[in-house]
Amino acid sequence: MNPKAAVVVYPGTNCDRDTYYALELAGFTPEYVDWHGDVKGYDLVVLPGGFSYGDYLRAGAVAAREPVSKSVRVYAERGGLVLGICNGFQVLMEMGLLPGGLLENTSGTFICKWVDLEITDTDNPFLSRFKQGGKIKLPIAHAFGRYVKVGDPNVALRYVEDVNGSDEKIAGILSEGKNIFGLMPHPERAMEKLLGWDYGKNVFLSILDWIRGGNRVV
């Protein structure tokens, strides 16, 4: 049986269908869980990109206080695998599950493009299929992606060139227990060569390996 993945949908989430499609391609059985829902019982929880609540107060700020987010916290604290992409990363940070902050790009504009990235940690459930120090391409699409460091985060992904002004070119970080991964680039947009590059697939396949291997965090 395929592992079950929850795709969390807030009002304004707009990468939910893309994430669902990517998870299916990778071999998961995805299900949508809306903002009233509960993520208990899933093998993986994904917080997709978009503009939850229009990003009107602050990106991810309202979503972080919804009932489903409380269940994500319980799930994460028990060691469950949580992947936050773009707005999902912003939500995880607003919930305090990942350290730091995400501010407006130094360009002051939304940026949508393929960027080069370096894998800086492969000893985790999300990136085990990559080589340490390997270079990959993934798309970014955000206005508020400038990562600002607090403390000493577990950096898993760095931009090769500065694209948005992030501290130390940080593009993605892991929680202390490495069961939570937040990143600004969109792996779910990089699943098929038809659309450019397919490096994103290995993110989802790494997670699949991890779950199938019967690993538990902590």
Which residue ranges make up the site for another protein (CB under 8 A)? Answer: 11-12, 14-15, 17-18, 21-22, 49-51, 53-56, 109-114, 139, 141, 143, 186, 188-189, 191, 194-195
- Residue 170 · residue 183 · CB < 8 Å: no
Under 8 Å CB-to-CB from 41, ≥6 apart: which residues?
A: 4
Catalytic residue among 94, 118, 142, 186: 186
Both tokens of residue 141?
């699409």
Nearest to another protein of 121, 188 (CB atom): 188
For residue 105, give the amino acid letter: N
Nearest to another protein of 56, 216 (CB atom): 56
Catalytic residue among 66, 94, 118, 188: 188
Q: How far is the CB of 89 from another protein (least distance, A)?
A: 16
Catalytic residue among 86, 94, 118, 142: 86
Distance of CA 154 to the CA centre of its chain: 14
Nearest to another protein of 159, 210 (CB atom): 159
3-state secondary structure of 111: strand
- Residue 63 · residue 97 · CB < 8 Å: no
Residue 188 bears catalytic tag:
yes
Q: Which residues are catalytic?
A: 86, 186, 188
